[in-house]
Amino acid sequence: MPSVLDLPPADRPRERLRALGAQSLTTSELLGLLLGSAPSGTNTTEVATALLARAGGSLRRLGQMPVAALAELPGLGETRALAVQAALEVGRRLAGEGVAEGEPMRGPRDVWRYFAPRLEGLAVEEFHIAILDSQHRLERDVLISRGILNGSLVHPREVFREAIAERAAALVLIHNHPSGDPTPSPDDREVTAQLVAAGRLLDIPVQDHIVIGRGRYLSFAEAGLL
């Protein structure tokens, strides 16, 4: 198994974090950095990838796993398992500061308040879905794609697979415009129309699509674009 040290310096997760920020790293790379040094002959990013796979790729499920189950993974151990659980708990508490626990997302501004701190400063577009329960409370935030928004990157299959797995009552679509201008592009409108139509077929309504700019947002529902 190759070591991180075998990579060119500019490609190492720690160096990319320093140069480009935490958002430039994959989830596995971020977890790998949390693990610190690994036993001889192991790669922390690959250990983290295996750890994430054990939780079905879900950080939420990973945070629910007992320490003993995490610690038995080769290359992890109890100390690193505790570090992962502590980091995930910090993430949960940070997310909880955006919307009070149990408080519904009543409208576009609530969605914007939750997502804007993480999305409005990014250099690339990210497309998220907010999975809501029957009381319009946020059940899960799912990152669907990172890059230019178009139909090949944001496919109904990927969006509604997550929604069905979580037994969503409704969805809100969210993505950012790095330019700072939240005006929807033709691709934004096309992708939204595809997902709204798919939601009708699956009886999982798409309630809104929020485009986040710099200090402002556009709601498809408010603008009459749904």
pLDDT digits (tens, 9 = 90+) for 12-54: 777 888 888 888 888 888 888 888 765 555 677 888 888 888 8
**Domain 108-219, what fold?**
Cytidine Deaminase; domain 2 (3.40.140)
Domain residue ranges in the chain: 4-97, 108-219
The confidence score (pLDDT) of residue 49 equals: 87
Question: Would you say residue 100 has pLDDT above 80?
Answer: no
Instruction: Characterize the bridge pairing of strands 170-176 and 206-212.
Output: parallel
Q: What are phi and psi of 132, to 5 degrees?
A: -110, 150
- Cα(40)–Cα(34) distance, integer angstroms: 17
| 154 contacts 98 by C-beta, under 8 angstroms | no
- Cα(206)–Cα(173) distance, integer angstroms: 7
> N- to C-terminal Cα distance for the chain?
49
The confidence score (pLDDT) of residue 191 equals: 92
Ranked by mean pLDDT, the top range of 64-73, 89-98, 118-127, 161-170 is: 161-170
pLDDT digits (tens, 9 = 90+) for 164-206: 988 899 999 999 998 899 999 999 999 999 999 999 999 999 9
pLDDT digits (tens, 9 = 90+) for 118-173: 788 777 889 999 999 989 888 888 888 887 655 446 888 889 988 998 889 999 99
The confidence score (pLDDT) of residue 181 equals: 94
